[in-house]
Structure 1
């Protein structure tokens, strides 16, 4: 597993100059002369070393006043295992915030859920991220909004609600204050919308998509799921709200999957995407897993890229049967 806490500036520099995809999402490169921060795989001409600084989290770069690159789109970087060694309360807080715990509640209510004081919660975030829990929540919302503005056909108002904002005005104000662009300006200058609502989810390492699709083809539920050689789609229900999604296999090995979706309640979009990430095991660093297993016994890896699939979850609360076809 890559440990960014122990990386030196020389290692950061080597990774960004070589555009090493293993470090995508592990750290971010901020350019002092442009005020923009990028993924280490950004295709732009690399800046001089004296003009850059490195951040271990996109939210830290935002807090320092940098704007996300419109070309490499830091909001699309794969998730990192960076906090596995951090305190349990901090990791739980991150998870709850990313699930929307502070959209309607206060830090005091969140800290009560965690069994710690609100002062200690703020101290944890200051130590690990240099930002407050509320600020982290807002940065998370805005980076998700940026991705939806680039790719989806959702209206700006719907995107704001999907990201947890209570009003379009609050969404517009927060977006402009943090990213120095209004949502409308970003959509005009950096959008590549497609015919349907689309998001892209990144992952790390090999992924045997053919084995996954073959597995689902043999077990597809008629009228609910449809599986081809290149995609898997199904209807789902999230808190009594109907949704549909289609995930396209990354046969080209770009380590990014395309997700088409339709939602009856757009505020449930983040729940849908979290579930997709979990069920399709997109957050696992399979390279690190296979390296560890090979160290134990090289015969444990029969075929590279096989993932753990939560097949049993398909009949539970989020992935349930639906025989209609409202969206299609």
Structure 2
């Protein structure tokens, strides 16, 4: 790994959370690799070898630390990777694409050559796609062994292994211990699936929970008085599809969230955790964002970009939110879920339905949606969106060409540039989405046209979605500038 070894060792000594998930350290004297925040005694510098990923450390023969648990480290945000197609590659790998497909097929899915795919993985992660995928499976299995009481066969299946025998062989060879021996050291409880996801602080949890609560859809999701986020969730597809619920509890003092998952979703744990990471923007690097946004983010460096757990659901909610209040949009979405969503049983009285799938809403007449209060033109847009998804004309998952898909969205009658960009911002977690036509954004720049606002916002690339959040959050931003009149002059 190329870079500043002195800087990384200093980060290790300081247990600096800004480097968590960005580097891993292999300790030659122990044969173990750790996160930079590990609480174990700091090894000597000459014994430390730094890696850009857990996969690279494991390729060189290091075993994951049982104390700091590398599988809990936050991931990399989009701009840490060499292009959006690599982000999509990571998502596909986490979804198990390489369990049944080759690297060549993965490269073809991304529209690049196999050679280019391998070159970029080597540059970004110090490992090949296969090595990266193998580490993902093993670390996911390690997580389940330590945090749950699932039977070993269920652990193997959930982590993406084709057989228990193959799981045992690979786990023992790579980690030099058997799965059952690690299970004896487990802290897992018998009350279900409770897992953890780390993030890099700071994180403004009160703001995030207010944002989610104000947009909560009756029967589908909610924020409790205790600050817990609950929602229904569908995972998998076809014969492997399953549905259930999740409960997410922030543990701010430990810079992590606790995720309780319904037993019915056991086989889809990696997908569920990936969706939670996207919803809460847990992989963001707040220091990198602050460095580029500077004074705009200085007062609230913990703001994160709210994502989603289902891109189709979020897209429908964006359409329903046109020209109405946030609360009215949520009420419309709740009525859609009640009328066309699947009823499910959960331990929570607030969570009663799954949001309907595209194939369901594609069969609904716009007049039926109008009957629950949705304006007819907006209802027609929802049905056309659903049909475009079902027919394959629009992709809302694992989007590679953001601008191209925005163009497809805006070609649907009733969907304008604001709605399409908001979909990119929330459903696709595009960090550079900017809503220059947004009502509140225009209020922050009085007297400026949207075009001038967009030109001014160029200084905030590649974090313009975060700039949008900060502008929404800070209604006095313009007045706080050293020379407010310079804003118009710089435009």
Q: Same fold (TM over 0.5)?
A: yes
TM-score computed with the length of structure 2 as normaliser: 0.59
Unmatched segments (≥5 aa) in structure 2: 318-336, 349-491
Deviations 1:29-75 (A, max 9, x none): 11111111111111111111222211121111100001001011111
- Of 2, 16, 21, 1:20 maps to 16
Q: Are 2:27 and 2:48, in contact at CA under 8 Å, matched by a contact in 1?
A: yes
Indicate the larger mover: 211-220 or 236-245: 211-220
Is 1:214 matched with 2:215? no
The equivalent residue for 2:198 is 202
The equivalent residue for 1:247 is 248
Q: Structure 1 residue 241: deviation in Å?
A: 1.6
Q: Are 2:53 and 2:126, in contact at CA under 8 Å, matched by a contact in 1?
A: no
When you count strand as a share of all residues, which structure comes out higher? 1
Q: Residues 90-105 of structure 1 correspond to what in structure 2 (within 5 A)? A: 90-105=86-101
Indicate the larger mover: 177-186 or 284-293: 284-293
| Distance in 2 separating the partners of 1:247 and 1:176 | 32
Is 1:180 matched with 2:200? no
Deviations 1:58-106 (A, max 9, x none): 1111000010010111111111248735366555433322221111112
Q: Structure 1 residue 286: deviation in Å?
A: 2.4
Cα separation, partners in 2 of 1:317 and 1:163, compared to 1, 3 Å: farther
Q: Structure 1 residue 258: deviation in Å?
A: 0.7
Unmatched segments (≥5 aa) in structure 1: none
Matched position secondary structure for 2:104? helix
The equivalent residue for 1:53 is 49
Matched position secondary structure for 1:249? strand
Q: Are 1:197 and 1:261, in contact at CA under 8 Å, matched by a contact in 2?
A: yes
The equivalent residue for 1:107 is 103
Indicate the larger mover: 122-131 or 33-42: 122-131
Is 1:193 matched with 2:178? no
| Distance in 1 separating the partners of 2:342 and 2:130 | 37
Cα separation, partners in 2 of 1:56 and 1:270, compared to 1, 3 Å: same
Is 1:310 matched with 2:307? yes
| Distance in 1 separating the partners of 2:56 and 2:40 | 22
Q: Structure 1 residue 306: deviation in Å?
A: 2.3
TM-score computed with the length of structure 1 as normaliser: 0.86
Deviations 1:123-147 (A, max 9, x none): 4444554543222211111011111
- Of 62, 65, 78, 2:61 maps to 65
Matched pairs, number: 319
| Distance in 2 separating the partners of 1:121 and 1:300 | 35
Is 1:237 matched with 2:234? yes
- Kindly name which structure, 1 or 2, has the bigger radius of gyration based on alpha carbons: 2
Q: Residues 135-154 of structure 1 correspond to what in structure 2 (within 5 A)? A: 135-154=131-150
| Distance in 2 separating the partners of 1:87 and 1:221 | 34
| Distance in 1 separating the partners of 2:136 and 2:343 | 35
Cα separation, partners in 2 of 1:230 and 1:196, compared to 1, 3 Å: farther
The equivalent residue for 2:33 is 37
The equivalent residue for 2:343 is 323
Matched position secondary structure for 2:277? helix
| Distance in 2 separating the partners of 1:282 and 1:29 | 22
Cα separation, partners in 2 of 1:48 and 1:269, compared to 1, 3 Å: same
Q: Residues 271-286 of structure 1 correspond to what in structure 2 (within 5 A)? A: 271-286=271-286
Matched position secondary structure for 2:21? coil
